[in-house]
Each structure stands twice: as structure tokens, then as C-alpha cells.
């Protein structure tokens, strides 16, 4: 959800910066469908790169998590999970690829729905402005 909200905020910021370009496209006779498709492609590009980088970094960190924690403990000269205090002295990690697939599917659908809503909102607002002026 954090990933989806960050992608949505990025897309809204891009669309707010592109309002001038949208108005130019409206002036040149572009239809709402063309503008919708252009910004939907923008969102798809951001989603695909975000999912690829996010999933690969998450899988990389989860596969080397024990080594990362050991290096941090050596650097800080402390033990996070001491065997004197806790029952286990490691963090058990199991990667379930079906869960990763479902999370990616959920994030993809959330971003598509929210970006479609924001695109339609901006197109509707700009089409009303172009009709009034």
C-alpha cells in the first residue's frame, strides 16, 4: 500500500505538471481517450519499473537478511537477538512466491484504479475549462 500510494502521488504530481501540455493537446483537438491512454501508459511504466525493482530488492534483502543483520551487529558491536534473552537468536524468513505474486497483483490493480481515477478527474476538469473558455 505504501508503494501504491507513492506511485499515485508521483503520477498526480506528474499530471499537475503536465496540465499545460494537456491544455495544448486539447487545443490541438486531442480527444479525452488519447490523453487518458498517454497518462495510463505513464502509470504502467512507473508500475512495471517499481514492481521489478521493489520485488527484486525485497527478495535480495530477504535472502541475505541474516548476513545483513550479522554485519550490522558487528558494526554496532551489539547483539539484537541475544540467546540469553530470546528463545531464538535469528529471524526466521520464508519466502512464499505465491504471496509475492498476490501482493504484486494487488498493488498493480490498486495503482491502475487510482491512476485511472486521477486521470479521469484531471481530464474532466480540463475539458470543462476548455468548454468554458
Contacts of 8 (CB under 8 A, 6+ apart): 111, 114, 115, 118
Q: Do residues 4 and 108 touch, judged by C-beta distance below 8 A?
A: no
pLDDT per residue as tens, the chain (133 positions): 676 677 667 777 777 777 777 778 777 887 888 888 888 888 788 888 888 998 899 899 988 988 888 898 889 888 777 766 666 666 778 889 999 999 889 888 887 887 787 777 777 776 555 544 4
Amino acid at each position: 500500500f505504501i508503494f501504491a500510494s507513492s506511485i499515485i502521488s508521483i503520477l498526480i504530481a506528474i499530471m499537475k505538471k503536465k496540465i499545460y501540455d494537456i491544455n495544448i493537446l486539447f487545443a490541438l483537438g486531442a480527444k479525452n481517450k488519447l490523453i487518458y491512454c498517454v497518462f495510463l501508459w505513464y502509470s504502467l511504466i512507473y508500475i512495471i519499473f517499481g514492481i521489478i525493482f521493489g520485488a527484486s530488492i525485497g527478495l535480495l534483502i530477504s535472502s541475505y537478511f541474516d548476513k545483513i543483520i550479522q554485519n550490522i551487529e558487528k558494526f554496532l558491536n551489539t547483539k539484537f537477538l541475544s540467546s540469553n534473552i530470546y528463545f531464538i537468536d535469528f529471524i526466521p524468513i520464508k519466502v512464499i512466491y505465491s504471496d509475492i505474486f498476490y501482493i504484486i497483483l494487488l498493488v498493480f490493480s490498486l495503482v491502475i484504479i487510482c491512476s485511472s481515477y486521477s486521470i479521469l478527474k484531471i481530464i474532466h476538469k480540463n475539458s470543462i475549462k476548455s468548454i468554458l473558455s
